[in-house]
Amino acid sequence: MTELLAGRGIVITGSARGLGLAFAEACAAAGARVVMADILGQQVQTEAAGLQAKGYQVYPMTLDLADFDSITAVADAAIEALGKVDGLVNCGAIATGIGGLDLEQLESQTWDQVMAVNVRGLWQMTKALTPALRASGQGKVVNIASDTALWGAPKLLAYVASKGAVIAMGRSMARELGPDNICVNTLCPGLTLGEATDYVPEERHRQYVEGRAIPRPQTAEDVTGSLVYLLSDMANFVTGQTIPVNGGFVFN
């Protein structure tokens, strides 16, 4: 993936840990300058320092996707830091601490919080950076959904609904932004090993492994190649697509 993204400026939300952090490193390794934005301000600073020590050009910023003022501030700071924005990876989301409840147990407060971040926040982040993506002439947006929305994972209704909305929004965004030469695609990773999924019951991990066409645990590195491809010139005519990356647990 070396130099596939040379000279690109890319913003990645939710990049303090898990897939978002792996995406930041992969994009930087491919030659991009990367804004790492996350609500976990101290953690994103620490992880960015580690990547900077490797010689990567990364810029940590604190971002609250539930707060439009925070979104606009980060968008402005990202444009200033990078000079231009060629790519946006909408990875930030609430995923932990909201599962294990059936639809009768789910509280409205949890539902609203998940939608505020996972759906409204994604739209507003894209909205804030659309002028910069348009100006780049080669803008790419990659929204991170989940294969839970493709197979209908139980006892995770708010999250599944939010990721279903992400898939639908990506299709609409692709049609709206296509005339500006902005490609919008959606990745749907499966359950991925890492800090953010340590809370998931062993039974669910086993269900994924046993149900995959390639029957093994999924790692962040299994997803990064698809992301870099979608952000690169190799995907200049790919837009509006929903791509599961899950070892064949579900097919699209």
The span from the first CA to the last CA of the chain, in angstroms, equals 25
Residue 113's identity, in one-letter code, is Q
pLDDT category, 2, cuts 50, 70, 90? low
Residues serving a catalytic function are 159
Render pLDDT for 30-82 as a digit per residue (tens, 0 to 9).
999 999 999 999 999 999 999 999 999 999 999 999 999 999 999 999 999 99
Question: For the chain, which domains are there?
Answer: 9-243 (3.40.50.720)
12 contacts 35 by C-beta, under 8 angstroms = yes
> Burial level of 36, CB count in 10 A (0-12/13-18/19+)?
buried
Render pLDDT for 160-174 as a digit per residue (tens, 0 to 9).
999 999 999 999 999
